[in-house]
Structure 1
Amino acid sequence: MIELKSARDREKMRRAGRVVGEVLAELRAAVKPGITTRELDHVADRGIKARGGIPVFKGYHGYPASVCVSVNDQVVHGIPGPRLLKPGDLVSIDLGATVDGFVGDAAFSTFVGEPPDERAAELVRVTEEALYRGIEQARVGQRLGDISAAVQQHVESHGFSVVRDFVGHGVGRQMHEEPQVPNYGTAGRGLLLKPGLAIAIEPMVNLGGYAVDVGDDGWTVTTRDHSLSAHFEHTIFIDDDGPEILTAIS
């Protein structure tokens, strides 16, 4: 069941998105050599609560933290802990918050200091570009496959691969709603996009192959070939004026 959101819902989602964007900006500034991923979780938890939000990840199917921090070959759902970040690490941070009953969800990838090489830097750049290629297709009258195809084509044109096992999703009163939003697909196919549809588009892109594995903790997803992975995400709202990014990072 796909729920189209009202103008009032949209305003509440804007507030949730603003909280997520502001806290992600704090997390980006905190990513430095020597910080632990658990300390980043503390930044996220404090930041969300200080703005009147609820960390939506914490307790979700038993997830133990307020943020996901995935490093190097970890794709998504990395659990914060004692791991120290080192220069050259590729860090992907995914954050969700509930405010006034609605959810904002977004993610970004960044390096600790300078990237280790040009190909790693290109991976992050192309993944973020692919997100915006997908957002550009999120317009009334387009099809869901137009978003998926735009992401996939941009990623694969640069020789990277799109993760198949995890996808974007609808978002609203719950973090994960219908429809699913794959990062691969065929233009002109799938759900017709209508005003009031709110979705999270989130390319997960690997430097090597697209196969992934879930770790023994039941959460942390890694690339099967242990190549680097990057992840970007925004919550967007579609109306007749086009897509509005609700989780812009300040």
Structure 2
Amino acid sequence: MIEILTPREIDRARATGALVARILETLRRRVEPGVTLLDIDAWAKQMIEAAGAESCYVDYAPSFGRGPFGHSICTSVNDAVLHGRPSAVVLRGGDLLTLDLAVSLDGIVADSAVSFLVGGRGSAEDAALIDATERALAAGIAAARPGARVGDIAHAIGAVLAGSGYPINTEFGGHGLGSTMHQDPHIANTGRPGRGYLLRPGLLLALEPWAMLDTAMLVTDADGWTLRSATGCRTAHSEHTIAITEEGAEVLTLRGPAADG
């Protein structure tokens, strides 16, 4: 299913995107060594409910998971890159943490992810990996405009990731959004320009470049959800929700100063 949103629905999407951005930025500020992944999940749940919204993950039970997911946010650490299920794991300084949050507010979903180093310190290799996913995301956003195609976005993302020396996995990638979290079109993290679905105003997309340091292969934890690099290498993941407008791509999940809480 592909939904084309009305201008009024895009306004609602802006509100959802702002909420997701605010929660992620607040969580990022709160995270420090000694915090557990379950702490983060509890904070996210509290903020989502206080806003009158719902997490898209609690009842999420796709064919590839062992569901339902049962938590409010994905928390992936170090070699975990996607669908990290919150647990009692205690974060340490230098851990590479990814927070991935999808929320529904007033019937419209927004989805975003951010990777960062706990305690603000880590290796130059980790910092470069995070930076590559952020640059790939920026390139994908720049390629998204009316009349372009999904392949143009995928190609722009893949050019940055491959140019930075990282293998690319195409099993999981970006996707359409609207009244539900995962819709068509699928947006792989590499592709051929000029191919795929034609972009038009009213389309809501989640672009999410992610990379692993030295492999394109994933393995799944015993929890049936957490996806890790097959070699145990570090990983990173950056994501924004965008709306295709007459002028181009509007980023709905830009993070700024977090609200207290």
Matched, 1:142 2:148: yes
Tell me the equivalent position of 1:10. 10
**Hey, what does 1:227 align to over in structure 2?**
233
Q: Deviations over 1:14-65 (max 9, x none)?
A: 1111110110011111121000000000111111111121111112110010
TM-score of the superposition, structure 1-length normalised? 0.98
Corresponding residue for residue 186 of structure 2: 180
Distance apart, 1:162 and its partner CA: 2.3
Contact conserved, 1:165 with 1:212, CA < 8 A, in 2? no
1:110 maps to 116
Query: In the TM superposition, what is the alpha-carbon distance from 1:217 to its structure 2 partner?
Result: 1.1
Please give the alpha-carbon distance, in whole angstroms, between the structure 1 residues aligned to 2:14 and 2:93: 35
What is the Cα deviation at residue 145 of structure 1?
0.5
Shift of 1:4: 1.0
Deviation of 1:160 (Å): 1.3
Q: Give the aligned residue type for 2:20.
A: V
Equivalent residue letter for 2:12: K
Find the counterpart in structure 2 of residue 206 from structure 1. Answer: 212
CA deviations over 1:120-166 (Å, ceiling 9, x no partner)? 11000111111110011110111111100111110111111222221
* Pairing partner for 1:249 from 231, 247, 255: 255
Q: Could you tell me how far 1:200 is from its partner in structure 2?
A: 0.3
How far, CA to CA, are the matches of 1:142 and 1:77 in structure 2? 30
Deviation at 1:223, TM superposition (A): 0.4
Q: Which residue of 85, 88, 101 maps to 1:82?
A: 88
Q: Is the 8 A contact 2:213 2:233 kept in 1?
A: yes
Unmatched tracts of structure 2, length 5 or more: 62-67, 257-261
Could you say what the CA RMSD is over the residues aligned between the two structures, in angstroms?
Answer: 1.0
Question: Pairwise mapping of residues 123-138 of structure 1 onto structure 2 (< 5 A)?
Answer: 123-138=129-144
Match of 1:152 in 2: 158
After TM superposition, give the deviation of residue 2 of structure 1 in Å: 1.8
Please list the CA deviations of residues 169-205 of structure 1 after superposition, one character each: whole Å capped at 9, or x if unmatched.
Answer: 1001000011111111011111111111111000111
1:41 aligns with 2:47: no
Contact 1:162 1:203 in 2 (8 A): no
Pairs aligned (count): 250
Q: Please, which of 150, 167, 172 is the counterpart of residue 173 of structure 2?
A: 167
- Say which SS state the counterpart of residue 219 (structure 1) adopts: coil
Task: Report if aligned partners of 1:115, 1:121 keep a CA contact under 8 Å in 2.
Answer: no
TM-score by length of 2: 0.94
Q: Which residue of 1 aligns with 2:51?
A: 51
Instruction: Tell me the secondary structure at the aligned position of residue 163 of structure 1.
Output: coil
Local SS of the residue matching 1:175: coil
Contact 1:90/1:109, CA 8 A, preserved across alignment: yes
Q: In structure 1, what residue type is equivalent to 2:29?
A: A
Contact 2:243 2:252 in 1 (8 A): yes
